[in-house]
Structure 1
């Protein structure tokens, strides 16, 4: 397993701690990620995303979606069966799972729906007004100097 030292990045930058932590977490995570349950991540609009997770066999009340500390956690626990069943073939897995997704800054969960064996989680990126690009008016040089002189004389 490879190991990278991000100490030089911390020494030379300010405010990029989260990116370095994310890279460190991705690179240090074990390679064998669980494949269950399968999921899709799609971009539905310029600032909207949807995570679709195949949750066949789970009822809506057996699923939980939680956002905490910039991470989206989806978990499922199957309720105990009241009567034992005898399966000749069991191809639909209903084992418990927990899957985590790291959310970027300003991304929030706008809703979740459960239909036809799929759990759809809608996300939206809301960039604050202070971070949006804005046009700066360019003043003439003499106007700025005149205002500065007025301020000094007053």
Structure 2
């Protein structure tokens, strides 16, 4: 199913990334499901991605944050210890998983424990973008200001 966003492009400014993201949702249906992962909210502005990467060590994993994207790659080096594997139940194939991050979401850190890769994210909204109270200068304030200047 494709939606034509052309009418919206004519009357909006700066939403092209959002429209492209919505448009690409249909294309992601065939996206691989390995490795499995969870995305959880751990606080008001804190998030965590947990990926099951059993068999991968820190040297086999690469995490890259670029613009509004996060890419996690895993490439297991072949174990040349001469083992004869009779059954492979633990997948160790290479993978690449991409995540689209919202504006002002940055990677805070990553850790690998018990076969799970945890990537901590935080939304850091700049001070200039946060809501602020604007004082209202009424007529009484102007009268006091004029009286102070006259004295």
- The alignment partner of 2:42 has SS state of strand
- 1:12 is aligned to 11
Q: Mapping of 1:96-135 within 5 angstroms? A: 96-135=94-133
- 2:22 is aligned to 23
Deviations 1:23-82 (A, max 9, x none): 11223x141221110101010110000000000000100000001121100000011221
- 1:91 is aligned to 89
- 1:151 is aligned to none
What is the rounded CA distance, in whole Å, between the counterparts of 1:104 and 1:7 in structure 2?
A: 23
TM-score of the two chains, using structure 2 as the length reference: 0.88
- The alignment partner of 2:29 has SS state of coil
Return the offset for 1:141. Answer: 4.8
Number of residue pairs the alignment of both structures matches:
145
RMSD: 2.0
What is the rounded CA distance, in whole Å, between the counterparts of 1:18 and 1:32 in structure 2?
A: 22
- The alignment partner of 2:19 has SS state of helix
Q: Which runs of 4+ in 1 moved over 6 A?
A: none
What is the rounded CA distance, in whole Å, between the counterparts of 1:127 and 1:63 in structure 2?
A: 29
What is the rounded CA distance, in whole Å, between the counterparts of 1:15 and 1:24 in structure 2?
A: 16
Instruction: Say which of 38, 43, 68 aligns to 1:40.
Output: 38
**C-alpha contact 1:9 1:20 (8 A) present in aligned 2:** no
What is the rounded CA distance, in whole Å, between the counterparts of 2:131 and 2:16 in structure 1?
A: 23
- List runs of 5+ in structure 1 lacking aligned partners: 148-154
Return the offset for 1:13. Answer: 0.9
What is the rounded CA distance, in whole Å, between the counterparts of 2:83 and 2:4 in structure 1?
A: 53
Return the offset for 1:142. Answer: 7.3
